[in-house]
Amino acid sequence: MTDPDPDRLATAERILRRERRRTVDEREAFDALRAAVRDTPTERAQSVPPESPAPSVLSGATNTGSNGATAVRRAYERTVMAVPHYEEEYGDALRESLEAEFGTEVVVGLTDLGRLTPGLKRAVLDAAGTARAERDRFVEALDAEADSLRGSETRLAVIRDELGTLADEPTPDFGARDAVRARLGVLAGDCDAVADDRQATLREWDDRFDPPAGVPDLPRYLYADLDATYPVLATVAEVGERVTRLRRCVEREMAAPPRADDAPGTSSD
């Protein structure tokens, strides 16, 4: 077992900050899109011949060049598709992106049928509001994850520091070794407590934050590129292994026959 990676949790924090910044950018982009759509005038639907099938509530024409629909598509390109990370994270063409965010019916209304009817405008505003709300919930989830990560990191740092002190501390007699062994038992319990709290946080995540599609598990989504998908639990395991190794070493020393300088009453004089 290797020693704990001191940079793993710091790297996880950097990933969290990047993901939060990107999510906020997207949330603000959907806010800007909604403002642009609200300011875009609607158009009357074209009349449909009696023998034609009834159009969707979003439809109303076959003119893909209508000013309203074109304005909404251009606004989408200027806002949602213009976030700094769009190409790296998504890279979708306009129609693919619209469908991913708003669904097929809205896409057909904006690109194929083409008039910004009142029904289509309401659908776009509702879909953009839903997308915005999803980002808002995800920011809340990321903030909760950041709190959990920082709290775990602080607790593990305390354990690491004391572990280093105990490893360097001289144990000249049985009593000193027994005291170190007892303290290592406390540190092992502290490691277990960090792991238990972290696992409880992960179990609560789905219920608290209603994860968006494609995010079944927050750590797997965020930390897939790290050496450990669950960085806190991996670090706890590594610190716990160090505690166990040192405790075994101390116990071996306690079980060994006493040295002459360990015997009570001995003196070097």
Mind listing the pLDDT tens digit for each residue in 195-233? 999 999 988 886 777 666 666 688 888 998 899 999 999
Q: What pLDDT sits at residue 260?
A: 59
Give residue limits of the domains in the chain: 19-134, 140-257
Please tell me the number of Cα atoms within 13 Å of 263 on its side-chain side: 7
Measured from the Cβ of residue 206, the count of other Cβ atoms closer than 10 Å reads 14
Between 7 and 191, the more confident residue is 191
Q: What is the DSSP letter of 113?
A: I
Q: What pLDDT sits at residue 2?
A: 47
Q: What pLDDT sits at residue 205?
A: 80
Mind listing the pLDDT tens digit for each residue in 142-175? 999 999 999 999 999 999 999 999 999 888 889 9
Contacts 24+ apart (CB under 8 A), 153-160: 153/9, 153/13, 153/232, 155/190, 155/193, 155/194, 156/4, 156/9, 156/191, 156/194, 156/235, 156/236, 156/239, 158/190, 159/187, 159/190, 159/191, 159/194, 159/239, 159/243, 160/4, 160/239
Between 255 and 208, the more confident residue is 255
Taking alpha carbons only, the member of 232, 57, 54, 47 closest to residue 145 is 232
Mind listing the pLDDT tens digit for each residue in 35-66? 999 999 998 765 444 444 444 434 433 344 45
Measured from the Cβ of residue 258, the count of other Cβ atoms closer than 10 Å reads 12
Distance of CA 45 to the CA centre of its chain: 44
Between 87 and 56, the more confident residue is 87
